[in-house]
Amino acid sequence: MLSNVTKYHIPGSLGEALSLHNRESRSYFLAGGTGLALSDSNRPVELIDLDDLELDELEVDREAGRLLIGATRKIQQVVGCPDLEGFADGYLQDGLEKVGSYPIRNAGTLGGSIVRPFPWSDVIPILLALDATILYFDRSHEKRELSRLYDDDFRPTLRNAIVTGIEVSLPDEGVTRGSFQKFSRSEFDVASLNVGCTITERDGEIVKARMAVGARPSFATRLTEVEESLKGRSLNEDLIYETAELASQTAAVSSDRKMSKEYRVAQVRKMAEDALRDITSEFN
Amino acid sequence: MSEDEKRFDVVSHNLPKVDGEALARGRRVFLDDIENSPELVAGILTSPLAHAEIVDIDTSRAEKLPGVESILHYGNVPRVPHTTAGQGYPEPSPYDAYIFDNRVRFVGDRVAAVAGTSWQAVQEGLEAIEVEYNELEPILDPARSRESNVQIHPEEDASGIYDSDRNIAAHVDIEVGDPKRALDEAEVVVTQKCKTQFAQHTPIEPHVATAHLDEYDRLIIRTSTQVPFHVRRIVSQVVGVPIKKIRVIKPRVGGAFGVKQEILLEDLVSLFALRTGKKVKMRYTREEEFVSSRTRHPMEVEVRLGADKEGRLTGITMEALSNTGGYGTHSLTVLSNVGSKTLPLYNEAPSVHFYGDAVYTNMPVPGAYRGYGAPQGYFALEVAMDQLAEAVGKDPIEVRKLNHIQEEETSPIFEKLGEGKEGTVQYIHSCKLDKCIDLGAEKIRWEERDAIKRNYKTEDKARGFGISINMQGSGIPLVDLAAARLKLNEDGSFNLFVGATDLGTGSDTVLAQIAAETLGVDLDQVVVYSSDTDFTPFDSGAYASSTTYVSGNAVKKVAEDVKEQILELAANYYDLGPKDLDIAKGKLLTPAGSVDLSEMAIKTTSGEIELDQKQIEATASEVPAESPPPFAAHFVDLEVDKRTGEIEILKYVAAVDCGTAINPNLAEGQMEGAIVNGIGYALTEEMEFSDTGEMTNPSFFDYKIPNTEDIPEIEVILVESDEPTGPHGAKSVGEIGIDGAIPAISNAVRDATGIVLTESPFTPEKVWKKLNEGK
Amino acid sequence: MNITIEINDEDKEFQVKPGEILLDLLRREGYTSVKEGCKAGDCGACMVLVNGRAMTSCTLYAAQVDGKRITTLEGLNDELADSLRQEFLDVGAIQCGFCIPGVLISSYSLLTHNPNPTEGEIKAALDGNLCRCTGYIKQIEAIKNVARDLEGGNNERRREKI
C-alpha cells in the first residue's frame, strides 16, 4: 500500500503521460508494478499507468537480426515468444528466463527494469551484451545506447522521459551467439554477480564480442578490454582461459554482504569461462 | 500391497487428509481468513537497539490519534516473570520474560503495542510513541558473554536462570563411566568442533492471533499455535484471568516447525480484548516473523571420540555452547537434547561426558525448532565419525554399524539426561537402522562410489558421497500428557476429540486412522475435532515428535474402550458373550452374520427394549513411559565446483525407521519437508546481522529457503518396524528428517575434496576459501 | 476510484484507493484463498491469474487490473482444477495447505498452457511458490500425474510458453 497516493492516471497518449509526470514531481510511471509495489515509500503521490499506451509490441526480423521490444512487454512474454526463438541463438530468451520467478516475470517489464535499474538487474547485462539501444519519449522520440544508462547526463533525461522500448541490432555479418551466467545464493534470488556475453563469428573468426558484468555489486558495466582482445581471434580453450583471466582482472568488482571482492574476482573468471565455453559449444 | 497394508484395514494406507478438501479449495480455515475483519487490529513497537533501558515512554501523542484505541507498555501492564516457551508445567525454561519490560534485550524486542481500528491507525500510533533509551553495551557473542560484566538479566524477579551474573541461562553436565580415562587411554582419538548459524523456521503463515470476550465475559483466544493448552495456562498466568475464563481455539495452522510453540501474540491480544472489550487481531509481518519471533539456537559443539584400532568407541565427550539470545526460552531443553538425542545412538561407548552452557546475548531469541538441538549435535558427531573411520582405515558405514545401538539394547544416557532434568531408563524395542543403512547405501550406490568418482572426468568438479545416521525421540517420557475422547453417534459414526494439535502435518488424519483401525470402521466414520480447550481433553501439544506416538496411544486406548463398550452392549442385546462379537469394516460381526454398526448405534439412543440407553463414550489419557527413537540414515551424492566452491547435490537418499507408518504418504511428506528444510539449513539459510545486532536480511528476498528449482532428486525410503509400545507399531517421524543434511553434506564434500566443512551454512565462498587454504 | 474486474467469471465493481494493493482488495472483498505470506512478491501465497497469467497479487495495484479478468482459487472449478486438487490429495502433496492456493494457481496455469510438461518445466513454473512443509516432491509428483492423465486427451502442446 502506497498510502500517500491520491491519484491514479491511465493516460491515452505519450504526450499526456509526460505532461502528467511533469506536473507532479512525486509521480511515478507504472509499467509492471513489481518494483514500485515493493517499496513502502511514502514518496509517491501519483501513479501513471502506462498500460494503455500500447507499448508492448515486439517486432523481430530474424533474418536481419533486428529486434524491437516495447517497454511494457512482460518479461515472460519475451521469454515465451515463439517469434523470438533462435534470436542470437536463444541468448535473449534463455537469459531473461533467469530473471526473478515465473510470476514476477509475468508482471515485470523490460522498461521497468531499465527505468528502475537495480545493481543486481539481470536484464541490463543481458541487453548490454546485445548492444541494445533505449528508445524513449522526451517530447520527441529519442534513442540512446543502453551502455550510457548510468551517464551523468542521461539519468536526469531519463527521469523526465518515458522509456518506450529497446532496440537490438545484431551485426550484419556473421553469426551471433551468447551466454548469460548468473550466480545467486539460491535459484530464486537476485544475482550476486552476473555476466552477459555475446560473440559474433564469421568464418571461424570473432568479428565482434560483448561482455558485461553486473551486481559487481554496483551497476552493470561492459568489459571493453575483453571485448577488444577477442576481436579477430578464434574461440578455443586457450583463448577462453586467457579471456576469463583478463575478465577477472579488468572487471571492477568490490565486496558486499553477499561476496568478498576476491571471491567475485574468482567468480568472474569462472563465469566468463563458462559463458565462452557455452558459446563455443554452440558454434561447434 | 505391503505387508502392513495387508495387516491393517485403515492404518498403513495412503488415505487423503481429513482436512485436505477444505485446504485444496482454499476455504476459510486459517485464522486470518476466519477473522478477516475484526473490530481492532494491533501491532508492536520493537526495539531498534540490541541492549537498552527504557528511561521514558511517552504515548500521549499516539493516544490522541484517530483510530488508536489502546496502548500497552511496561508502565501499564502487570509485571509477571514467565517464559514464552509453551512447555509442560513446571516449565524447564527460566522465568525471564515479561509482557513488557523497561529493558530491551535484542533488536526486535517488544517495547509497546497499539490497538486501533485499522492497520494504518496502528502504524501511525506506533510511530507517534516516543521512547527514550539509555543504551547499554550490547553483548553479541556467546563466548564473550560468559566473561562479560554486562548482565543481560540483572532483574531480581527473574527465576530459574542458572547463573545470571555470568549470563548463563542453562547448564548441563552429565557423565557416565570414566570418559577422561577412556580418552586418555584410547588408541585413536579424533576431535571435531562444528558451528551452526541463526536460522529461521519461516512457516508461510506468520504468527496470528485474535481475542475477544464472549457474552459471558469469557476470554476467547484463537491462535495459530502448537500448544493451545499451554497458551491457556500462560495467558492466565501473565494476564491474570483464571483458566476457567479462557478458551483457546486452534484453527488450521499454516506451518509451525517449533516457532509456534511459543506465546508471542496471545498475551497482547488478550490484554487488548480485556481493555477494549472488542475483538482484536494481531499478525506478524514477514519481517517481524524474522526479527521478533524465534530462531534456531546457534551453537558451537565440540566432540571428542576415543576408540580402539578397530574403530570401536571407548569414550565420547561432547561440549556445547549454545546462544540463547535475549531470553532463555527452551535454553535448557534444547541444550540437553544436543546430547540426549545423539549420544545414545553410539551406545558402544561405555564412557560419555556431555556438558555445556546456554548463554544469553543481545541477539534474537532462539526457541524450539524441528530437531531441537539434535541437528547441532549430529553435525559435530557425524563429521567426527567420518574422521574416526578414516583414522582406523574403515568404511564410514562399517564404523557406524560397529557402534550404533541395536534392538533390546540401552544407553545410560537415556536415564542420565532427559528434558532438562534426569531422564528415564529405556530399552530399544524396535531398530531397523542397519536396514536403513543398507537400503540407503544401495540407492545411493555407496559400494560403487570409488568407481563413480574415478570415472567422473571433469577437472573442475569433484564428486563425493556422504552419510549421516540419526535418531530422535517420540515425545517426552513421564512429562507429556495426551488425552482423547471418543463418542459413538447413532449412525455408527464417531466423534473423536483430541487436544492434539495438527500443524499441517496431518496428525488429525493420522489420529483418525488409528481410531478407525482400532474400532474396525472406515476412516470416514471418524470425525475429528481437535485443539479447543473448552471441548477437547488436555494435550501437551505438538512438539518433541509426540503426536503420533503419545496422542496416538491415547486415541488407541480410547478406541479400545469404546469398542469394548459397544461389544458389551451388543452382547447383552444378542445374548452372547462379548468374545463372540467383533467389529470390522464398519460391521458388527455376530455368529449369525454381520449387521451394520449403525443398527446397534441407533439403539443406544432410541430406547429400544433390553438395551440401556446411553451415550457410549470414553476418555483416555496417555503418559508415555518411554520415547522410542525413530532411526534414519541419510546419504548424499554431490559435486563440488573446485573453481568456485559451489555444491550441487545430485541425489539425496534417506531411509527412516519410524515404526509403522500410519499414513505412508504423510510420513514421507514429513521426511521430504524436513530434508529440504535441512538442505536449506546446510547451504543457504542464515540470518545475518549488523555489528549492532540488527538482522540485515529479514525477508524471503534475502533469507533464502529452497524453492522448487533448488531441490535435488530426493528419495525417501520407509523402513517399517513394529514398535511394541506404539499405536499399531508407530513411532515418530516429524523431526528426524532434519538431522542428517548438514553432516551428510559435510562428509560428502570431504569425500570429494578432502576439506572438512565445520561451519554452516556451506556457502560457495566458504567452501572456496577452504579449498584455497594452503594453496 | 472505481474499477471493474471480471473476477471468477463475475463482473464486479470495487471502490479502491489509488495506492491500494490488489492482494488487500481481494482479501477485504472475501477472496481469502489469496493468502498473505510475505507481501513482497517472494512467496507466491497470494497468486492469482490475471488474464490467465499467474501473478503475485501483492505486487500489483488494484487499479492496474481495472478491466481485466482475475481468477482466484475460489473460481477454479473446471475439470483440470478438480483433477489437480484430487491428485494433490491422493499423493499427499498438501500439508499445512497455506501455500496451496498459490501452488494450484501455478499448476493450473502451467497445465493450461503446457499439458505435457517435463519435470524441469514443472519446477520452473512453480519457482515462485514457497512451501516449507512438503519439500515440493509430492507437489511435483501430483502435477506429473495429472499431466499423464491429460495425455490421450488434448495433448497438442501450444508453442507459446506463457
B340-362, pLDDT tens digit by residue? 999 999 999 999 999 999 999 99
Asked if A101 reaches chain B (Cβ–Cβ under 8 Å), the answer is: yes
- At B57, the pLDDT band (50, 70, 90 cuts) reads very high
The answer on pLDDT for C161 being more than 60 is: no
**B295 - beta bridge partners?**
B200, B366
% of chain B surpassing 90 pLDDT: 94
C-alpha cell at B543: 512438539
Q: Are B539 and B500 in contact (CB under 8 A)?
A: yes
Separation in Å, CA B558 to CA B7, B600, B722: 21, 19, 21
d(CA B161, CA B110): 21
C-alpha cell at B201: 523456521
Going from N- to C-terminal start, the domains of chain C cover: 2-75, 79-150
Which chain A residue has the Cα nearest residue C52? A106
The helix-helix angle for A261-283 and A237-250 (nearest 10°) equals 150
Asked if C98 reaches chain B (Cβ–Cβ under 8 Å), the answer is: yes
pLDDT at A38: 62
Burial B486-512 (b: 16+ CB within 10 A, else e): bbbbeebbbebbbbbbbbbbbbbbbbb
Please name the member of A3, A260, A270 whose beta carbon is closest to the beta carbon of B765: A260
Contacts of B674 in chain C (CB under 8 A): 135
d(CA A5, CA C65): 17
Contact C129 B708 (CB under 8 A): yes
Mean pLDDT of B565-587: 92
Which chain B residue has the Cα nearest residue A260? B765
Q: What is the CATH number of domain A175-283?
A: 3.30.390.50
Which chain C residue has the Cα nearest residue A35? C59
- pLDDT per position as a tens digit, B529-560: 999 999 999 999 999 999 999 999 999 999 99
Q: Are B654 and C81 in contact (CB under 8 A)?
A: no
Collapsed DSSP state (helix, strand, coil) of residue B682: helix
pLDDT at A129: 98
Please name the member of B16, B673, B708 whose beta carbon is closest to the beta carbon of C95: B673
Collapsed DSSP state (helix, strand, coil) of residue B250: coil
The answer on pLDDT for A86 being more than 50 is: yes
Distance from CA of B702 to the nearest CA of A (A): 8
Contact C58 A30 (CB under 8 A): no
Going from N- to C-terminal start, the domains of chain A cover: 7-48, 58-169, 175-283
Q: Are B308 and B222 in contact (CB under 8 A)?
A: no
Contacts of C42 in chain A (CB under 8 A): 188
- At A152, the pLDDT band (50, 70, 90 cuts) reads confident
Contacts of B704 in chain A (CB under 8 A): 185-186, 188-189
Distance from CA of B644 to the nearest CA of A (A): 6
pLDDT at B754: 96
Q: What is the rounded average pLDDT for all residues in chain C?
A: 93
Contact A186 B707 (CB under 8 A): yes
pLDDT at B67: 98
Interface test with C, best of B15, B25, B671, B716 (most C CBs within 10 A): B25
Please give the CATH architecture assigned to the domain spanning C79-150: Orthogonal Bundle (1.10)
The answer on pLDDT for B427 being more than 90 is: yes
- pLDDT per position as a tens digit, B141-162: 999 999 999 999 999 999 999 9
Helix (H), strand (E) at residue C71: strand C69-71
pLDDT at C152: 58
Collapsed DSSP state (helix, strand, coil) of residue B73: strand
| Contacts of A191 by beta carbon, 8 Å cutoff, 6+ apart | A120, A121, A122, A182, A183, A184, A214, A215
pLDDT at B606: 81
Q: In sequence order, what DSSP letters do the residues of B663-675 get, joined into one string?
A: SHHHHHHHHHHHH
Contacts of C93 in chain B (CB under 8 A): 669
d(CA C54, CA B312): 58
The helix-helix angle for B374-391 and B396-403 (nearest 10°) equals 110
Which chain A residue has the Cα nearest residue C45? A103
CATH code matching the domain that covers C2-75, chosen among 3.40.50.880, 3.10.20.30, 3.30.360.10, 3.40.50.720: 3.10.20.30
Distance from CA of B697 to the nearest CA of A (A): 10
Cβ-defined contacts of C57-60 (< 8 Å, 24+): C57/C21, C57/C22, C57/C23, C57/C26, C58/A37, C58/C21, C58/C22, C58/C23, C59/A33, C59/A34, C59/A37, C59/A38, C59/A104, C59/A107, C59/C21, C60/A33, C60/A37, C60/A107, C60/C21, C60/C22, C60/C23
Distance from CA of A185 to the nearest CA of B (A): 6
pLDDT at C35: 98
C-alpha cell at B668: 514421507
- Give B742 or B578, the one with higher predicted confidence: B742
The answer on pLDDT for B418 being more than 90 is: no
Q: In sequence order, what DSSP letters do the residues of B268-303 get, joined into one string?
A: HHHHHHHHH-S-EEEE--HHHHHHHS-EEPPEEEEE
Asked if A269 reaches chain B (Cβ–Cβ under 8 Å), the answer is: yes
Contact C98 B205 (CB under 8 A): yes
Contact C59 A38 (CB under 8 A): yes
Asked if B30 reaches chain A (Cβ–Cβ under 8 Å), the answer is: no
Q: Are A257 and A158 in contact (CB under 8 A)?
A: no
d(CA B489, CA B526): 10
Place of cell 563458462: A274
Q: Which of residues 687-716 of B touch A (CB under 8 A)?
A: 688, 696-697, 701, 704-710
Asked if A6 reaches chain C (Cβ–Cβ under 8 Å), the answer is: yes
| Contacts of B458 by beta carbon, 8 Å cutoff, 6+ apart | none
ipTM score for this prediction = 0.96
The answer on pLDDT for C154 being more than 70 is: no
Contact A101 C127 (CB under 8 A): yes
Contact B706 A186 (CB under 8 A): yes
Distance from CA of A61 to the nearest CA of C (A): 18
Looking at CATH, the fold of the domain delimited by A58-169 is given as: 3.30.465
Q: Give the N- to C-terminal CA distance of chain A in Å, as an integer.
A: 52
Which chain B residue has the Cα nearest residue A2? B120
Q: What is the rounded average pLDDT for all residues in chain B?
A: 96
Instruction: Give the number of beta-carbon pairs within 8 Å between A and C.
Output: 96
Mean pLDDT of B43-67: 98
Contact B708 C126 (CB under 8 A): yes
- At C160, the pLDDT band (50, 70, 90 cuts) reads very low
d(CA B536, CA B530): 6
Which chain C residue has the Cα nearest residue B20? C89
Please name the member of B696, B705, B765 whose beta carbon is closest to the beta carbon of A259: B765
Separation in Å, CA A250 to CA A50, A125, A212, A246: 39, 16, 11, 6
**What domains, with CATH codes, occur in chain B?**
3-27+480-622 (3.30.365.10), 35-136+207-283 (3.90.1170.50), 295-476+626-772 (3.30.365.10)
Closest CA to A99 of A128, A74, A67: A74
Interface test with B, best of A120, A189, A255, A259 (most B CBs within 10 A): A189
- Give B492 or A35, the one with higher predicted confidence: B492
Q: Are C7 and C75 in contact (CB under 8 A)?
A: yes
Contact B701 A190 (CB under 8 A): yes
Contact B707 A3 (CB under 8 A): no
Which chain A residue has the Cα nearest residue B708? A187
Place of cell 559435510: B746
Contacts of B17 in chain C (CB under 8 A): 89, 92, 94
Which chain C residue has the Cα nearest residue B702? C42
d(CA B619, CA B496): 10
Interface test with C, best of A9, A29, A56, A102 (most C CBs within 10 A): A102
The answer on pLDDT for A63 being more than 90 is: no
- At B38, the pLDDT band (50, 70, 90 cuts) reads very high
Please name the member of A51, A106, A188 whose beta carbon is closest to the beta carbon of C64: A51
| Contacts of B127 by beta carbon, 8 Å cutoff, 6+ apart | none
d(CA B635, CA B639): 14
Mean pLDDT of A226-248: 97
Dihedral sign from CA coordinates of C121, C127, C130, C133: positive
Distance from CA of A16 to the nearest CA of B (A): 33
Contacts of B644 in chain A (CB under 8 A): 183, 266-267, 270
Q: Which of residues 627-656 of B touch A (CB under 8 A)?
A: 641, 643-644
Place of cell 485464522: B31
- At C157, the pLDDT band (50, 70, 90 cuts) reads very low
Contact B710 A187 (CB under 8 A): yes
- At A179, the pLDDT band (50, 70, 90 cuts) reads very high
- At C158, the pLDDT band (50, 70, 90 cuts) reads very low
Mean pLDDT of C65-77: 97
- pLDDT per position as a tens digit, B461-472: 999 999 999 999
Which chain B residue has the Cα nearest residue C30? B36
pLDDT at B2: 62
The answer on pLDDT for C142 being more than 70 is: yes
- At A151, the pLDDT band (50, 70, 90 cuts) reads confident
User: Phi first, then psi: what are they for B567, rounded to 5°?
Assistant: -65, -35
| Contacts of B772 by beta carbon, 8 Å cutoff, 6+ apart | none
Mean pLDDT of B72-92: 97
- At B611, the pLDDT band (50, 70, 90 cuts) reads low
Contact B684 A185 (CB under 8 A): yes
Mean pLDDT of C11-31: 96
